[in-house]
Structure 1
Amino acid sequence: MARDILISVVITAAIQSVFGVGVLLFGTPILLLLGYSFTKTLTVLLPISISINLLQIVQHWAQIDWILFRKVLLYTIPFVVACLALVTDVKINVGFIVGPFLVFVALKDFSRRIGAMVQSLMRYERVYLATMGIVHGLTNLGGSLLTALVHAKKYGKDATRVTTAIGYCTFAVFQIATLVATAAHVRIDYRAHAIYVATGVAVFLLVDRLVYVRIDDAKYRRLFAAFLFASGVLLTYRAFAR
């Protein structure tokens, strides 16, 4: 068991417990910076992400936007699988594009003009969903684009988190299936991985009970916008700091 991975799991699991994404979105660049391979990073983070998302899905099953989920299956997942199968050990930097886009979407509630532009952009939903699949398959950062899309839908907090969670969970399931199918070689310490998953689940149960339930819808939308903004700034900084 690696202490640096465990610390990363605690931090990113806390974020995902509130917003539905985080373990892959932030855990991937963190572990890559720590020197782990892309494949190793996926094998560590994917089971944790799936475990947290499944708990969120069970909690608020009735709030899922099934229409959006079916579109994700149809237009996003094929690109996730195809791109991941091609680049299991290649690091591609798209943060300089995704980062500013997240900042832009985060500001939509503070500017009518930006809000109108975001709504206009989201009309091209099929293209957006396909692009999201490509980005996620190549970089594991598609969750950021998923959060931007869900934020634009103006759901309540439970619908926002669970719709994000089921999309994110589906990404992870198909990524694991792709890694198995392509026989991506990586040593797995099953005992350590079990500890990482248990830690992620424990963090979720704690954060969900002590933090999430105390946030009302209005405050959640502001927090979600702040989350998008911070994600965009961090991804942009990482992209240009190389």
Structure 2
Amino acid sequence: MSVEIMLTVAVTSIIQSVFGAGVLLFGTPLLLLFGYEFVDVLIVLLPISVAINLLQILKHHTHIDFAFYRNILMLTLPLIAVFLFLVTHVRINISLLIGLFLLFIAFKEFSATVARLIDRMMAFEKTYFLLMGIVHGVSNLGGSLLTALVHHKHYEKDVARVTVAASYGTFAVVQLLTLGFFSRQQIDVSLADTGIYMVVGALVFMLSDEMLYSQIDREKYQRIFAVFLALSGAVLVLKSLN
């Protein structure tokens, strides 16, 4: 069992417990820095992400924005599968662009000018959903665009988290199926270790949900979400410079 994987799972599971995304968004660059291959990182992290998302969906499934989720199914998922297949052969690094975009989105909370620019950009929503699929397929970073769009919509916190969880969980399922069909790469992690990582992620979710998420009111959640986007952007920018 890998200590760095276990620590990564524990820390990023706390983030995903609050925002619906985090295990893949932060776990991917962290494990890449530790020297793991991209596809191998997905094989480790995807089941953990799915497990946490399922727990979130079970708890708040009635709050899912199904109009939003239909766009994910119809516009985003096909492109995730296509571009994930392509990226198993060609690696593309767009971390810097995505990181700068997230920092820009985070400033919406502090600048009326930035807010107006983002409102105009988000008006092209169908194009945004298509772009999300391409980005997630090639880099595993589409979750950052997903959380940015959800933050822009100013949902109630339960709606925000479970809509991200449903969308992000579906991303992960499509990625697992695509990798199962098209990737022959294997990682040296036993089924037992994978099960332990999933249990750790689930336990962290239950503790964080009770001790952290439930204590955050709607207004505070919006501000924390902005900080989350800024932190995500900073991590991606730093990763791109390595």
Scaled by the length of structure 1, what TM-score is found? 0.97
> Separation in 1 of the partners of 2:212 and 2:92?
35
> Separation in 2 of the partners of 1:175 and 1:204?
22
Aligned to 1:227: 228
Aligned to 1:170: 170
Amino acid at match of 2:236: L
Amino acid at match of 1:5: I
Residue 98 of structure 1 and its aligned partner are, at CA, apart by: 0.6
- 1:60 is paired with a residue whose SS is helix
Give structure 1 stretches of 5+ with no counterpart.
Answer: none
1:6-17 matched pairs, under 5 angstroms: 6-17=6-17
- 1:91 is paired with a residue whose SS is coil
Deviations 1:123-175 (A, max 9, x none): 11111111111111111110000000000101011011001111100100000
CA contact (8 A) 1:101 1:232 kept: yes
4+ long deviations beyond 4 Å: none
Deviations 1:208-235 (A, max 9, x none): 1100000000110000011001111111
Give structure 2 stretches of 5+ with no counterpart.
Answer: none
Amino acid at match of 2:184: A
> Separation in 1 of the partners of 2:84 and 2:183?
12
> Separation in 1 of the partners of 2:80 and 2:226?
26
Deviations 1:90-140 (A, max 9, x none): 432111111111111111122111111111101111111111111111111
TM-aligned CA distance change 1:202 to 1:89, over 3 Å: farther
> Separation in 1 of the partners of 2:190 and 2:143?
26
Aligned to 1:200: 201
CA contact (8 A) 1:63 1:162 kept: yes
1:47-58 matched pairs, under 5 angstroms: 47-58=47-58
Aligned to 2:69: 69
- 1:21 is paired with a residue whose SS is coil
Aligned to 2:210: 209
Amino acid at match of 1:232: G
> Separation in 1 of the partners of 2:57 and 2:222?
19
Amino acid at match of 1:228: L
Amino acid at match of 2:61: W
Quick check: 1:3 aligned with 2:9? no
Residue 181 of structure 1 and its aligned partner are, at CA, apart by: 1.2
Aligned to 1:132: 132
> Separation in 2 of the partners of 1:190 and 1:213?
33
Residue 89 of structure 1 and its aligned partner are, at CA, apart by: 5.5
Deviations 1:49-104 (A, max 9, x none): 00000111111111111001000111111110001111125432111111111111
CA contact (8 A) 1:102 1:144 kept: yes
> Separation in 1 of the partners of 2:139 and 2:133?
10
Scaled by the length of structure 2, what TM-score is found? 0.97
Equivalenced residues, count: 241
Give identity over the alignment, percent: 48
> Separation in 1 of the partners of 2:204 and 2:133?
28
Amino acid at match of 1:220: Y
Aligned to 1:179: 179
